[in-house]
Structure 1
Amino acid sequence: MKNHSAILNRMFMVFGLVLLVPFTIGLQLVRVNFVEGDELRQLWNEQAIDYIPIPAQRGNIYDEDGSLLVTNNVVYKAAIDPKINGLTSDQISQVCDSLAKYTGQSARFYRQKINRAPNRSRYVVLNKRINTEAYQALQQLDIRGVILEEEYKRKYNFETLAAHTLGFVNHDLTGMSGLEKEYNEKLSGEDGVQQVRRDRNGRIYAYLGAPRKQPRQGYSLHTTIDSHIQAIVEEELKAGIEKTRSTSGSAIVMDPQTGAIKAMANYPTFNPNNPASLDKTNRRNFTISDMIEPGSTFKLVTAIAAVEQNKVKLNEQFETPEDGKTLIHGQWMRDHDPLGTLSFPEVIQKSSNIATAEIAMRLSKDAFYQYARNLGFGTPTNIDLPNEKSGRLSKPYEWSQVSLPWMSIGYELQVTPIQLAQAYAAFANGGTMMRPYLVKQITNGQGNIVSRTENVPVREIAKKSTIEKLYPIFKDVVSDSGTANYAQVPGLSIVGKTGTAQKYIDGQYRNEYRSSFVGVFPAENPKYVTLIVLDDPDTYPPYGGVTAGPIFRETANRIAGLDDDIEKQILQQEQDNDVWAYTPNLKGLTKEDAQALLTNQNLSYEFDGTGDWVVDQSPDSGNELSPKDNITLSLSNSISQNEVKELSEGYSTIPDVGGMSMRKASVLLNSRGFEIKMIGSGTIYTQFPRPGDTMKHGRTVTVRGKAKPLESLTTNGVSE
């Protein structure tokens, strides 16, 4: 009986426990749905809601005229989830076939990518970059499991053009160099945010009415770069480096009135669309980050300091040693050639190191240092580019006995190319140093101006009277008697200075050089300062006038062709200096031959005496003629045999075609049996060979017209 009662008690207990479970569940359901339902539903909603960024588009970069230099390209990525329910083998084949049609890869290639993916992979990238046609074709398939993604890539429309100035971005579209880095925050904009739902598998779904914060698109930069000038500078710099077999080179074109940079180039260069294409050294902007000993271009500091401090007279004479070298505090200083006795202007024109050092040693250390600082050396220019170096200009108390004379010729200090350009720009505009800059204004997505760059004067480098005294002297550097005669452009007035400095390597100066030339043009009302720097040219001599000068000449000549005002000045100067014609050599010709030659060239003439032979003439051959001049020919019935100018068969006398039109000159030369090579157009201003010479039929006479900017003519040798 007792056992039966115990069993019943246990059964009731178990039954009670069994009834308690559903009762408890029921209570929980009531609590969840009715008592705490609202709070729990809110909690679930918060856990299911997520936020994803809406990327902002990076701003564009434009040149001075509004040409689009840098923008964004949309790039499509194609992927697939091979494990999604309902995806069939036929559908996978359709995807692979569509990709193969537009990408050049085979369908088998994409099939193998899927087959080789890990068993649990739910995301297999088929192609990281597909075109719009492929993207649309995959969309039209409407196959579940195909994943299409959009992302933006930076596009540099002109590839290597201004690469070092523009810079490049990384895979996250973050600026890594150049303007891209300096203005990264402005260009990047601000990402937006979109609210989405996320399921238990982590998949994201948009839903109707979800809150959204629109992105603020990046601001756009409008630069001072002139794409035409930039292209010219890059082409001429590359050609000059290849011709001189230099290791590398840099060039800057700057507006001296405002400080605006029109062009900035380095070679070797790189393509910012693929910045890994070259060694990272080539991605460095040498114009602002390379510190170099400037050589003779630094003599501007010495000249300004000495003239302003009244330590030198413009008519003063300096005797340099016959062997071209002198001992200064135990160290030999040399001129490039023995230069003899020089006036002060000739010291600059012929770039005498010895005379420059003598002048500098009349100055106090503090005075020389202050003028160097006034011209911007030893401090950054604060150009709107990253990684600018400030150069190296030690304090006077750190100098040795030889520091002052060697600094005066551009040694024992380091400058950057942009500092040199800034200093000569200040010299060009009358003495006001301007801060160089590249971005003139920033606009938002609607084209409204957010900020504008004002021209920033830094300081006055010297008295205006000092600049006015020195300016003509530096103009004569670019002349037949100066070190920069290879930099001359016919018809264009130029102020400039050459520079050549040995490189200091491993504690000693070696037979490696940096050669440079900085030129200002036009000399009157200057518009451009152009600096060319070459690293280790493999030529002899390696002087800046011989190596960098011709690069400047070709660059300035082409830039002048783009500028209507400068071109008009050149044409006007040519007309002012134009020679209408030269007197041909007529001695020894028969009267009939001389008469025919002069008639064809529209030259006025008269005969003196009688006879069949020309025995004398006035003026002599080669003299300049104006349209009003008359040539007098003396005639005789006899002439000595050695004076007879008989033309061999197949030869003719070259007529003077100066002042003629191209068409008229062509007819005349062809009638004489010559070919003609025409350079330029319009009125002929020069020809080669000379008029009056004899030449075999079929040879070519080169004539030059003056409707286009003049090309450089043959120049004499140069030394520096």
Structure 2
Amino acid sequence: MRTRPNKIPEFLNRRYLMMLVFLVMIIALFLRATWLQVIERDFLTQKGSAQHMKLIKMHAYRGMVTDRLGDPLAISTPIHAVCLNLKISKLSNRQFSKLASILGISVRQLKRIKKSVFWKKRQQKEFAYVKRQVRPTLARRVMALNYKGVYLKREFKRYYPTGSTTAHVVGFTNFKDVGKERIEVGAEGVERVYNRELSGIPGSKRVHKSRDGRYVESVERIRTTLHGKPLALSIDHRLQYLAYRELKSALRKYRAKSGSLVIMDVRNGEVLAMVNGPSFNPNKTDRRRWHGNLYRNRAVTDPLEPGSTIKPFVIAAALNAGIMKVNTRINTSPGTLRLPGKYIIRDIHNHGMLNLTNILAKSSNVGISRVAFKVGASRLWKQYQAVGFGHSTRSGYSGETGGKLSSHKKWGKTQIASHSIGYSLYVTPLQLAQAYVVLGSGGFLKPVAMLRQKPWVQGKRVMSPRVATDVVRMMEKVVSEKGTGKLAHVQGYRVAGKTGTARIVKKVNNQRIYSDRKHRALFAGMAPASSPRLVIVVVINEPKGKEYSGGAVAAPIFARVMKDALRILNVSPDKMPISHKTIKIVGGRS
């Protein structure tokens, strides 16, 4: 029987071919998987993690500013900003309206924020600020909406517990755009002067990010956050409030244009209080209506003609030079003094013969001018320079000016007389206070300090102790019943001081002339006079009404502030009343 040869079916060949193709594919997939899992494992892991990780900035909060007792004057409080994730947020019109209603902004403004920042430099931004510095109650209401892509970002807001009381000293901050960041910087006052120390250095960290844009896990810290350093000022908030209250009351009473008050510690030159009026509230965020006249610290930025408060230093120059003694008598008759150029120096009354003490007590312009003539331009100028006039106090305060003291080489008789009665030279209230510290400290010029110092600072000797003591004793007569500053008297304490009343320059037909209606009332003094602890300078600009002199306007303010300040600091009285009561002895005479 004939057998048929075996033939492999064609479909079997196709089967082998397909099996071969599948085998090659499996080997290719295996090799690819091996490549990805072994060779490129680290690269792909990093690539995948990068999509869910983000490097974020950790903000450094500003350092706290305190007074000398540790009470806060400026603090940074944690607060939130409402943000919108632009990639995942798909709010409906109703949701936009609800969110805008809670935040107090219009729907159009909210949509404009999203549209304006969605594309920037052809690159999609991930988030946009909807509203910054949101109150905690509003922040909780926003989060309660649970809208996708709407979240909170933590930031800090500067808060000033003492408000307008310390506004001119502490100042305030503003936000400034630096690159892609919006940072808080000091704009005025101590906030500006010590901005670097208060600001700190921001840190950064890497975090995991969820699909809805929230940060769910901190991975690593890249750079440690260095928060701002605390700053302790020399200011005593108790004295600051006392000075602010009395100055504000006086400006209202006399309907004055402005005023300043400075309190300094004679022992170390610390500024214990510095106030100006009118003031402002630095906690208000809408500052568009503010102007330089409102937040300028006049006590250090506005030089003025000090009037008769300069006269003690003319007497000091005469005593220092040895050309006069305390009991030297000067003829002030007939109460006027004609100068070259048709200028006339006048006294209110014809005081006749006066010694140096009574020249100060009566504030005789004629008498002090005749003293200045004998002192001479050079020695008078050197005395002014020695006590700090003509150059800055170097307190470090922003915008401080050194006043104006022209060269004595061009002084004639008229200029000498003018400088001796407090005209033609300009000093700030802080400079005037520093000069009076020289008298109170026994002749030492002490550096002005805005930060807390040691209890005692030596300073530089610029006047002999005998001369300083003699001038202080003379100024006590100013505050006596027969002196121009009798209203500066403080019960239980010996007070030494000097009144000042200066006419203010006005422009008439492009010419600068002294007004007969606009005045500046001043008083500068110290207590207790036996061992001075505090120096206070009061300046009231343009008081209105019948009373405008330093003795009538500024002296009572000085008395009220000094009285309470000495009590607050527990300074012992040095002028105890003498009791005239008799003690009755039983069985004998009384």
The answer to whether 1:565 aligns with 2:550 is no
Partner of 1:528: 534
Tell me, what secondary structure is at the counterpart of 1:565? coil
Please say if residues 164 and 284 of structure 1, whose CA atoms lie closer than 8 Å, have aligned partners that are also in contact: yes
Superposed CA deviations along residues 486-545 of structure 1, whole A, max 9, x for unmatched, are 111222210101111122333222222222001101112221111101111223352211
Superposed CA deviations along residues 91-146 of structure 1, whole A, max 9, x for unmatched, are 778x649x75xx7x6xxx77676678777986676654443244345445544222
Name the CA distance, whole Å, in 2 between partners of 1:408 and 1:627: 53
CA drift at 1:431: 0.9
Kindly provide the amino acid, as one letter, of the partner of residue 521 in structure 2: S
- Flag structure 2 segments of 5+ consecutive residues without an equivalent: 1-27, 119-126, 176-182, 586-590
Please say if residues 110 and 126 of structure 1, whose CA atoms lie closer than 8 Å, have aligned partners that are also in contact: no
The answer to whether 1:243 aligns with 2:253 is yes
Superposed CA deviations along residues 278-324 of structure 1, whole A, max 9, x for unmatched, are 432110111111111111111122111101112223222222233x2
The answer to whether 1:63 aligns with 2:77 is no
Tell me, what secondary structure is at the counterpart of 2:478? coil
Partner of 2:239: 229
The answer to whether 1:469 aligns with 2:479 is no
For 1:16-165, what aligned pairs fall within 5 Å after superposition? 51-80=55-84, 84=88, 96=99, 100=102, 127-139=131-143, 142-165=146-169
Please say if residues 205 and 218 of structure 2, whose CA atoms lie closer than 8 Å, have aligned partners that are also in contact: no
Partner of 1:405: 417
Name the CA distance, whole Å, in 2 between partners of 1:266 and 1:243: 16
Partner of 1:342: 354
Distance 1:356 1:90, change over 3 A: closer
For 1:514-553, what aligned pairs fall within 5 Å after superposition? 514-553=520-559
The answer to whether 1:509 aligns with 2:514 is yes
Kindly provide the amino acid, as one letter, of the partner of residue 56 in structure 1: A
Name the CA distance, whole Å, in 1 between partners of 2:455 and 2:466: 27
The answer to whether 1:381 aligns with 2:393 is yes
CA drift at 1:165: 0.6
Partner of 1:269: 279
Kindly provide the amino acid, as one letter, of the partner of residue 530 in structure 1: I
Tell me, what secondary structure is at the counterpart of 1:530? strand
1:365 to 369, 373, 377: 377
Please say if residues 154 and 173 of structure 1, whose CA atoms lie closer than 8 Å, have aligned partners that are also in contact: no
CA drift at 1:85: 6.5
Higher Cα Rg: structure 1 or 2?
Answer: 1
CA drift at 1:204: 8.6
Tell me, what secondary structure is at the counterpart of 2:164? coil
Tell me, what secondary structure is at the counterpart of 2:272? strand
The answer to whether 1:422 aligns with 2:434 is yes
Please say if residues 393 and 413 of structure 1, whose CA atoms lie closer than 8 Å, have aligned partners that are also in contact: yes
Superposed CA deviations along residues 695-718 of structure 1, whole A, max 9, x for unmatched, are xxxxxxxxxxxxxxxxxxxxxxxx
Name the CA distance, whole Å, in 2 between partners of 1:117 and 1:457: 60
Superposed CA deviations along residues 540-599 of structure 1, whole A, max 9, x for unmatched, are 352211110111112122223324333x556xx13x2x455xxxxxxxxxxxxxxxxxxx
Tell me, what secondary structure is at the counterpart of 2:172? coil
1:194 to 205, 221, 224: 205
Name the CA distance, whole Å, in 2 between partners of 1:74 and 1:134: 14
Name the CA distance, whole Å, in 2 between partners of 1:96 and 1:42: 39
Tell me, what secondary structure is at the counterpart of 1:148? strand
Distance 1:460 1:47, change over 3 A: same
Kindly provide the amino acid, as one letter, of the partner of residue 146 in structure 1: V
CA drift at 1:473: 0.7
For 1:436-455, what aligned pairs fall within 5 Å after superposition? 436-440=448-452
Please say if residues 114 and 124 of structure 1, whose CA atoms lie closer than 8 Å, have aligned partners that are also in contact: no
Tell me, what secondary structure is at the counterpart of 1:385? coil
Tell me, what secondary structure is at the counterpart of 2:473? helix
Tell me, what secondary structure is at the counterpart of 2:375? coil
Kindly provide the amino acid, as one letter, of the partner of residue 152 in structure 1: F
Worse-superposed segment, 69-78 or 119-128 = 119-128
The answer to whether 1:329 aligns with 2:353 is no
Distance 1:193 1:345, change over 3 A: same
Worse-superposed segment, 499-508 or 219-228 = 499-508
Please say if residues 443 and 464 of structure 2, whose CA atoms lie closer than 8 Å, have aligned partners that are also in contact: yes
Name the CA distance, whole Å, in 1 between partners of 2:524 and 2:134: 48
Kindly provide the amino acid, as one letter, of the partner of residue 187 in structure 1: L
RMSD: 3.5
Tell me, what secondary structure is at the counterpart of 2:220? coil
Name the CA distance, whole Å, in 1 between partners of 2:214 and 2:530: 68
Kindly provide the amino acid, as one letter, of the partner of residue 155 in structure 1: Y
Kindly provide the amino acid, as one letter, of the partner of residue 269 in structure 1: S
CA drift at 1:343: 1.8
CA drift at 1:464: 1.1
1:555 to 543, 546, 561: 561
Please say if residues 502 and 509 of structure 1, whose CA atoms lie closer than 8 Å, have aligned partners that are also in contact: yes
Superposed CA deviations along residues 665-692 of structure 1, whole A, max 9, x for unmatched, are xxxxxxxxxxxxxxxxxxxxxxxxxxxx
Please say if residues 530 and 574 of structure 2, whose CA atoms lie closer than 8 Å, have aligned partners that are also in contact: no
Name the CA distance, whole Å, in 1 between partners of 2:214 and 2:137: 27
Equivalent residue pairs, number: 533
Tell me, what secondary structure is at the counterpart of 1:545? helix
Distance 1:455 1:380, change over 3 A: farther
Relative to the length of structure 2, the TM-score reads: 0.81
Distance 1:141 1:305, change over 3 A: same
Please say if residues 206 and 218 of structure 2, whose CA atoms lie closer than 8 Å, have aligned partners that are also in contact: no
Partner of 1:608: none
CA drift at 1:89: 7.7
Distance 1:115 1:66, change over 3 A: closer
Please say if residues 492 and 521 of structure 1, whose CA atoms lie closer than 8 Å, have aligned partners that are also in contact: yes
Partner of 1:497: 498
Name the CA distance, whole Å, in 1 between partners of 2:298 and 2:115: 52
Kindly provide the amino acid, as one letter, of the partner of residue 540 in structure 1: K
Kindly provide the amino acid, as one letter, of the partner of residue 371 in structure 1: Q
Partner of 2:263: 253
Please say if residues 133 and 156 of structure 2, whose CA atoms lie closer than 8 Å, have aligned partners that are also in contact: no
For 1:275-354, what aligned pairs fall within 5 Å after superposition? 276=287, 278-322=290-334, 324-330=335-341, 331-354=343-366
CA drift at 1:337: 3.0
Kindly provide the amino acid, as one letter, of the partner of residue 357 in structure 1: S
Distance 1:267 1:221, change over 3 A: same
Name the CA distance, whole Å, in 2 between partners of 1:304 and 1:546: 26
Superposed CA deviations along residues 150-193 of structure 1, whole A, max 9, x for unmatched, are 22110001211211111111123211111111111111111112
Partner of 1:678: none
Name the CA distance, whole Å, in 2 between partners of 1:326 and 1:256: 37
Name the CA distance, whole Å, in 2 between partners of 1:85 and 1:129: 22
Please say if residues 113 and 126 of structure 1, whose CA atoms lie closer than 8 Å, have aligned partners that are also in contact: no
